[in-house]
Amino acid sequence: MIVINYDLSPQKSIFYVSALLYDYIVNRCRDFEETRKYYLTNIDKNELIFYYSMDWLFLTGKIKMIEEGKIICA
């Protein structure tokens, strides 16, 4: 089980990061690796939160992977 204390650092929550990434994907980018680089340079260095956030977007139906490394918004 994953336990995340949102009160300590809400900007590192999966929901917040997912919203930032979704905004980036919708407006600027359709490539997984470019999105990852954007996250690492502009949001945080914790790659685990990036992958959890991308999984969250995929599971909620906001994004789809159309081919290797290409993202499309649903």
Q: What is the pLDDT of residues 23-67, one digit of tens each?
A: 999 998 788 889 999 999 999 998 999 999 999 999 999 988 887
* DSSP state letter for 62: S
Q: 69: which residues sit within 8 A by CB, 6+ positions away?
A: 31, 32, 33
Residues facing residue 63 across a β-bridge: 73
pLDDT band at 2 (very low <50, low <70, confident <90, very high): low
Backbone angles phi, psi at 60, to 5 degrees: -85, 0
Average pLDDT of span 3-32:
82
Which tokens go with 20?
């930032």
pLDDT of residue 68 exceeding 90, the answer is no
